[in-house]
Amino acid sequence: MDQHAPARPSLLFQRWPRGSVALASWLHQQGISAKLTEEYCKRGWISPIAPDAYIRSDDTVGWPGAIFALQNAGWHVHPGGRTTLEIWDFAPRLPRATARIELFRTGDPELPAWIHDHNWGVPICCADGPLFNDPRLGLTLRQIGGLSLAVAPPERAILEVLASVHDEATFRDACALVRGLTKLRPGVMAAHLRACTSVIAKRLFLLLADEVRHVWRSHLMLAGVDLGKGQLSIVADGVLNTRYHIMVPDSPGTITGTRGGAR
C-alpha cells in the first residue's frame, strides 16, 4: 500500500451536499489544496466539470446543484421568471423539449462558462441587469433537489417574465401566466411594483391584472408605483390600452382598448 496516498475524503464528503457542485474556492476553504484536489480526481473520487468546478464521482448533479454553488460563493444569481412560477405551482411544467431554466443575475462578474457548457439535462439561460432597486428583494429559500436555493417569489417572478415580453408569442404566454396567479399577496406585489425599474413590466402587469380580475387586484395599493410617461408599444399595430398607455398584440377576449393603434 502507498503510505503517502491520501485517505478517502470522508470528512469532505460529509460537508459536501449531495447533488451540488463544489468550486475550487470552496474546496480551498475546506483545507483541500489544488494538489490534493488533483489527487482526488486521479483516484476517481471526484470529477472535474471545469478547471475550477467539481462533482462527486458517485453523484448525479442537476441544475440546482450548479446554482447552489454559485449562491454559496456570493454570486447574486437566482432562479426566477417562469422557472419559479413552476416551482411555486403557479404555472404548468413545460414539456421537456421546450423547458429551460431562467436565471437572473445582478452586479456580478459573468457567470462561469461551465454553467452553460455542462449538460444539466435542461438548458440554462440568464438575464442580466438591475430589474429591481434591491437585487435581493423578496428572494426566498426553497428546497429544490434537496438543496436550499434563494428563488424569486411569484410576485417578483411575474415581473421578471413581463420585462422580457417583446412580441405576440411572449405576450400570449404572459397572459396565460397572469391568469394562473390566483393567490398573489397584494402587499408583497405592491412592494415589488414600487421597486421594479421596468416601466413596461409594471404597465403590462396592471393591464393584465385588470383584465383577469383576481380577488387580490382590488386589494392592490399602487401608491408610490412609478408608471413613467408617454406611450409604450409591444407591437407596432395592435390594441392601445388607454389606461396604461401601452400598445399590445390584438388578443380578442383578452385585452380591452382601442384597436389598430388609434388614440
Count the domains in the chain.
2
- Phi, psi of 175, deg, nearest 5: -55, -45
**Tens of pLDDT along 27-75?**
999 999 999 999 999 999 999 999 999 999 999 999 999 999 999 999 9
pLDDT of residue 93: 82
**Tens of pLDDT along 106-156?**
876 789 999 999 999 999 999 988 899 898 999 999 999 999 999 999 999
Does 145 lie in the same domain as 44?
A: no
At 251, the pLDDT band (50, 70, 90 cuts) reads low
**Looking at 22, 37, 56, which one is the last position of a domain?**
56
Does 202 lie in the same domain as 84?
A: yes
* Sheet containing strand 124-128, strands side by side: 77-79, 101-105, 124-128
Domain encompassing residue 180 = 63-223+230-259
Does 47 lie in the same domain as 77?
A: no
At 218, the pLDDT band (50, 70, 90 cuts) reads very high
Does 179 lie in the same domain as 69?
A: yes
Does 152 lie in the same domain as 69?
A: yes
**Tens of pLDDT along 180-214?**
999 999 999 999 999 999 999 999 999 999 999 99
| Residues 255 and 168: beta-carbon distance below 8 Å | no
Does 80 lie in the same domain as 32?
A: no
User: In 60-170, at which residue ranges do the beta strands (DSSP E only) sit?
Assistant: 77-79, 101-105, 124-128, 140-144, 147-151
Whether the pLDDT of residue 237 is over 90: the answer is no
And the C-alpha cell for 35? 494538489
Query: 5 lies in a domain?
Result: no
pLDDT of residue 3: 54
Beta bridge partners of 151: 140
Give the rounded distance of the alpha carbon of 263 from its chain centre: 37
Query: 135 lies in a domain?
Result: yes
Whether the pLDDT of residue 255 is over 70: the answer is no
Query: 4 lies in a domain?
Result: no
3-state secondary structure (DSSP) of residue 71: helix
Surface-to-core class of residue 76, CB atoms within 10 Å of its CB (0-12 exposed, 13-18 middle, 19+ buried): middle
Does 99 lie in the same domain as 25?
A: no
Does 172 lie in the same domain as 130?
A: yes
pLDDT of residue 104: 95
pLDDT of residue 254: 53
Whether the pLDDT of residue 1 is over 70: the answer is no
pLDDT of residue 5: 59
And the C-alpha cell for 247? 400598445
Lookup result for grid cell 380591452: 256
At 4, the pLDDT band (50, 70, 90 cuts) reads low
Does 191 lie in the same domain as 81?
A: yes
Residue type at 56 in one-letter notation = R
| Residues 247 and 234: beta-carbon distance below 8 Å | yes
Q: Round to whole Å and give the CA distance between 103 and 111.
A: 11
Q: Round to whole Å and give the CA distance between 188 and 259.
A: 33
DSSP states of the chain = --TTSPPP-HHHHHHS-TT--EEHHHHHHTT--HHHHHHHHHTTSEEEEETTEEEETT----HHHHHHHHHHTT--EEE-HHHHHHHTTSSPPPPTTT--EEEEE-SSPPPPTHHHHS--SS-EEEEES-SBSSTTTT-EEEEETTEEEEE--HHHHHHHHHTT--SHHHHHHHHHHHHT-TT--HHHHHHHHHHB--HHHHHHHHHHHHHH--GGGGG---TT----SS-EESSSSSEEETTTTEEE---TTT--SEETT--
Does 139 lie in the same domain as 44?
A: no
User: Rounded to two decimals, what is the model's pTM?
Assistant: 0.90
Query: 3 lies in a domain?
Result: no
Least confident of 41-50, 96-105, 159-168, 218-227: 96-105
**Looking at 56, 71, 91, which one is the last position of a domain?**
56
